[in-house]
Structure 1
Amino acid sequence: MGKTKKLIELDDKAIEILEKQAKIQKRSLKNYIEYMLEDTAARFAEPSEAYKAMMDDMIKKDNEGILRTQSWEAIKAQYGK
């Protein structure tokens, strides 16, 4: 996959906040902004084919009445939480 350069303008306050966050993560400002944008873009992306197949299987099992589920309380009790 290729890369594209874009010029962006941000206000000084936004830059100041982003610089602080970048420093906390031990990243350069440029790297931090790129990371955040790519992470956000990935959240908007369509799910993978493997994930879609897994979900289709879960829906099929639910429709057939063979999907086994547990309540959150049961899971916490099982693991002593």
Structure 2
Amino acid sequence: MGKTKKLIELDDKAIKILEQQAKLQKRSLKNYIEFTLEDTAARFSEPSDAYKAMMDDMIKRHDEGTLETFPVSEVLKQYGRKL
């Protein structure tokens, strides 16, 4: 996959915040911005084949009445958390 350069302008406050986050992750500002943008773009992309297969299986089990679900309150209780 190729790469494209783009010039972007951000206000000073945004740059300072991004620099702090980059430092926390031990990344350069440039690397942090690139990583964050690529990660965000990946979230907008189409789901993987494995995810689609898993969801198809869950839909099938739901339609067949064999999908077992639990209320969120029960899951939280299992992990010692509250709503």
TM-score by length of 1: 0.83
**The residue matched to 2:69 in structure 1 has which SS?**
coil
1:61 partner letter? R
Distance 2:8 2:76 in 1: 46
Q: Would you say how many aligned residue pairs link Structure 1 and Structure 2?
A: 80
**Aligned-residue RMSD, C-alpha:** 1.6
- 1:35-70 Cα offsets, whole Å, 9 max, x none, are 110111111111111111110111111011111222
Ranges in structure 2 where 5+ consecutive residues have no aligned partner? none
Q: Could you tell me how far 1:71 is from its partner in structure 2?
A: 2.8
* Percent identical: 71
TM-score by length of 2: 0.81
Distance 1:80 1:11 in 2: 42
Distance 1:21 1:36 in 2: 11
Dislocated runs of 4+, deviation >6 Å:
none
Question: Which residue of structure 1 lines up, in the alignment, with residue 24 of structure 2?
Answer: 24
Question: Which residue of structure 1 lines up, in the alignment, with residue 4 of structure 2?
Answer: 4
Q: Could you tell me how far 1:80 is from its partner in structure 2?
A: 5.6
Distance 2:79 2:16 in 1: 43
Q: 1:59-70 maps to which residues of 2 (within 5 A)?
A: 59-70=59-70
